[in-house]
């Protein structure tokens, strides 16, 4: 992956429901189909309004079975969604988030086709 200039940080685009749960402290695990080795501060992008609405640090990525993840709904709030999201996969990853902060003046992020974009 290309390195990001210091003036920019990676932005993870997240559906509004989930990003709001992260920002209010109810969700500390972001469930993803792939592992990540990123361990740094990232921007949190609200996909509906296409703006950076906060920041968090990814501190870990934990491989878990879907059944095990269901035992930790208090960390990800996604039990009603997790089977459909897994789409037959037995393993998903919990990206552990810390140091969450709200962006007081949400700003647009750059367009991209994947889950990641630049601020």
Residue 3 clears pLDDT 90, i.e. is over it = no
Task: Give 38's contacts (C-beta < 8 A, 6+ positions apart).
Answer: 10, 58
* pLDDT at residue 7, as a whole number: 61
Residue 88 clears pLDDT 60, i.e. is over it = yes
SS3 label, residue 75 = helix
- The structure's pTM equals 0.91
Residue 8 clears pLDDT 60, i.e. is over it = yes
Which of these CATH numbers, 3.40.50.150, 3.40.640.10, 2.30.130.30, 1.10.10.60, describes 10-102?
2.30.130.30
Give the pLDDT confidence of 11-66 residue by residue, as tens digits. 999 999 999 999 999 999 999 999 999 999 999 999 999 999 999 999 999 999 99
Buried residues in 55-94 as b, exposed as e (16+ CB within 10 A): bbebeebeebebeebeebeebbbbeeebeeebeeeeebbb
């Amino acid at each position: 992956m290309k390195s990001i200039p210091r003036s920019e940080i990676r932005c993870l685009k997240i559906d509004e429901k989930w990003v709001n749960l992260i920002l209010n402290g109810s969700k500390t695990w972001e469930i993803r189909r792939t592992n990540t080795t990123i361990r740094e501060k990232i921007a949190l992008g609200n996909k509906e309004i296409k703006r950076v609405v906060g920041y968090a640090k990814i501190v870990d990525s934990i491989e878990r079975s879907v059944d095990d993840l269901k035992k930790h709904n208090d960390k990800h709030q996604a039990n009603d969604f997790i089977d459909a999201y897994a789409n037959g996969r037995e393993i998903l990853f919990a990206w552990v988030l810390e140091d969450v902060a709200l962006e007081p003046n949400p700003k647009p992020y750059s367009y991209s086709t994947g889950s990641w974009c630049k601020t």
